[in-house]
Chain A
Amino acid sequence: MRRAALGAGSALLLLWPFLVPRYFVFLTSLVVVNAIVAIGLNLLSGYTNQLSFGHAGFFAVGAYVAAVLTLRAPGVPVVATLVLAGLATALVGLALGIPCLRLEGLYLAMATLAFGFVVVEAIQNLDWLTRGNDGVAVPTAHLGPLALASDAAKYYLVLGVGALMVAAAVNITRTRTGRALLAIRESEIAAQASGVHLAAYRTLAFAVSAFYTGVAGGLFAFVVGFISPDAFDVFLSVDFVAMIIIGGLGSIPGSVVGAAVITLLYDWLAAFQNYRPLLFGLILIGCMLFMPGGIASRMPKWTQQAQ
């Protein structure tokens, strides 16, 4: 069942640009980008119980690193650009994560919220680098001789990177590190007693989460083609949190589904902008009251990764 579904799903995703209109290809790219962020955020929140309201900040760092790098050094292949965007963001994540180690729950949520505001402010003020509020038009990405200009080409780039990131996340849970993270999720005290270095793994989770979000930010810059600081406000962080809450904390398939739900809702409700937060808020409250495990808790068993 699992294999058949995986095979059919991959075939559909590969043929997608030939089956649907261009706009849906673009939309699917956005879903995948958001899914990468949701997985990254879930590695942090779902596994180590650290809630972040600052992932829009990481997302922005990744997007701006990729955009500025492509502007200043057009020769760098897109894969290298994305890795650099991820690494730069992971560094920022470490810089924020290490001092925040002593914080828990509410405090960490607020510290990351503050971080999100500071990033936007920084982008607005470093205009020699980021062009401030005017925003940056992101040049076309190049992969060797290929120029990734069309929606379909960008889609394949996003899909390839997304598949790698999902596979890595699924496999992380099978390594020593992944088992340590799972142990922390179940009980911090029991994990510590079993020799899991809590501080080290929490910091690692912060850095990995930031890496995922940074890579997704870089992809976002290429897919959308134009970035400006107002796209990365605190409400985007809230949307990311909504994705993993709706999808299911600590579940990778859940992250993907949650990202798809929020991204598509965003698109469908584009004409009703004033009602969108109303609906999102109601979904969040309803989810917490009636379905705390998110959609993942209602998905058939074979979709759950082995744990």
Chain B
Amino acid sequence: MTTTALVHVVVSGLATGSIYALVAISLVIIYNATRTLNFAQGEMLMISTFVGWSAHAALRLPLPLVLVVAVAAAAGLGWLVERLIIRHAIAATHFDVLIITLGLSLVLRAAAGLVWTHDEFPFPSFFGGRPVVLGPVRVAPVSLGIIGGSLGLMLALAALFRWTRLGRAMRAVAQNQRAARLMGVSVERVYSASWVLAAVVGAIAGVLIAPVIFLSSKMGLVAINGFTAAVLGGFGSLPGAVVGGMLLGVLENLAPLWLPAGIKHSVPFLLMIAILVLRPSGMLGRVRQRKV
């Protein structure tokens, strides 16, 4: 295999990987605030992308506005879900909340099917079709756009967590909820903010990936790969989510070159089982000590 082809495969792997990383980040944001996994993350991503697409189809909005519509829809959806459902289960066990988000994912997917049918739709892309020539290598602009857009969003998130009041509050809640509350942080507001922020990150990931994998009620399944990415990096760690996502994307694209075609789709799952068994805390995660 030539180096050119290898570079090509790695770049498109990094592109899918950035999406996995974004989804992983959105899962980790919610996990850090509420210690639960949001099974409906993929479906929330799918619904907001669909809303953006409908706006595009009905009003002929330009793409940047489509992104704004999708992000607004996601923010509204995230806020509603947290306020109407999750907040009421605040005293419930993680197990119960997990089941609730599982139910929510079923409801959202079915609702999307009723509104937009279960067909696949082409989604307009920000990026042109002509390959970009980088020295000897030709790269699809979509890949570069996805990587660039995701990196930009990740930097913005890093800035948010590092330098804003909200970001500090979110980090405080992730570390120790009671201490955060004692310091005057409104934990409830952090819950709300986390769900909204996670939904927004998901929506941006959805708008970026929809031109590549088509828009359909099934696109929420990308959340499973997002979870694998988060586990790979160490669940709860944001840098881990990024590294895990990129690694998963590249491995998934490279694996079919050496492995038999039949197990291509199993790669993320086998990888997840392997990581969970060998190093449950992931690459960048810390081992959580349990107090008795």
Contact = CB atoms under 8 A, between A and B. Distances in A.
Contacts of A5: none
A284 B106 contact: yes
Interface string B253-278: 00000000011011011101100110
A288 B103 contact: yes
Given A121-B262, A241-B99, A284-B100, A103 B114 contact: no
B98 A106 contact: yes
Given A110-B276, A275-B110, A289-B85, A121 B266 contact: yes
Interface stretch (B87-95, B187-195, B237-245): B87-95
A238 B292 contact: no
Interface residues of A, number: 40
Interface residues of B, number: 43
Contacts, number: 120
Contacts of A117: 224, 265-266, 269
Contact of A284 (B94, B103, B227): B103
Given A51-B98, A109-B98, A111-B272, A121 B103 contact: no
B16 interface: no
Contact of A281 (B98, B107, B224, B273): B107
Given A110-B227, A110-B231, A276-B110, A284 B102 contact: yes
B103 A103 contact: no
B94 A106 contact: yes
Nearest to B117: A274
B18 interface: no
Nearest to A132: B262
B104 A105 contact: no
A51 B98 CA distance: 10
A278 B107 contact: yes
B92 A281 contact: no
Interface string A117-128: 110011011000
B92 A100 contact: no
A255 to B, nearest CB: 16
A105 B85 CA distance: 21
A147 interface: no
B99 A284 contact: yes
Contacts of B92: 288, 292
A275 B111 CA distance: 8
Interface in A97-114: 99-100, 102-103, 105-107, 109-111, 113-114
A155 interface: no
Contacts of B107: 277-278, 281-282, 285
Contact of A288 (B89, B108, B270, B280): B89
Contact of B273 (A111, A275, A278, A280): A111
B105 interface: yes
B73 interface: no
Contacts of A284: 99-100, 102-103, 106
A22 B98 CA distance: 39
A164 B224 CA distance: 38
Contacts of B170: none
A99 B85 contact: no
B37 interface: yes
A263 B277 CA distance: 35
A49 B93 CA distance: 11
A245 interface: yes
Contact of B102 (A49, A111, A238): A238
A283 interface: yes
B110 A278 contact: yes
Interface in A104-157: 105-107, 109-111, 113-115, 117-118, 121-122, 124-125
Contact of B106 (A107, A111, A278): A278
A189 interface: yes
A275 B266 CA distance: 30
A281 B103 contact: yes
A288 B100 contact: yes
Nearest to A124: B262
Contact of A278 (B114, B224, B231): B114
Nearest to B272: A114
A241 B102 contact: yes
A255 B234 CA distance: 35
B95 A105 contact: yes
B264 to A, nearest CB: 9
B231 A107 contact: yes
Given A103-B280, A105-B95, A288-B96, A189 B292 contact: yes
A118 B105 CA distance: 22
Contacts of A125: 262-263
Q: List 6 A-B pairs, minimum CB-CB distance, nearest first.
A: A284-B103, A281-B106, A281-B107, A114-B269, A125-B262, A278-B110
Given A117-B224, A121-B266, 19 more contacts: A102-B280, A105-B95, A106-B36, A107-B235, A109-B37, A111-B276, A118-B273, A122-B266, A274-B110, A275-B110, A275-B114, A277-B109, A280-B106, A281-B108, A282-B103, A288-B92, A288-B103, A289-B88, A292-B92
Interface of B: 36-37, 85, 88-89, 92, 94-100, 102-111, 113-114, 224, 227-228, 231, 235, 262-263, 265-266, 268-270, 272-273, 276-277, 280, 292
21 contacts: A102-B277, A105-B94, A105-B95, A110-B231, A110-B272, A115-B269, A117-B265, A118-B266, A118-B270, A121-B262, A238-B102, A241-B102, A275-B110, A281-B103, A281-B104, A281-B108, A284-B102, A285-B100, A285-B103, A289-B85, A289-B89
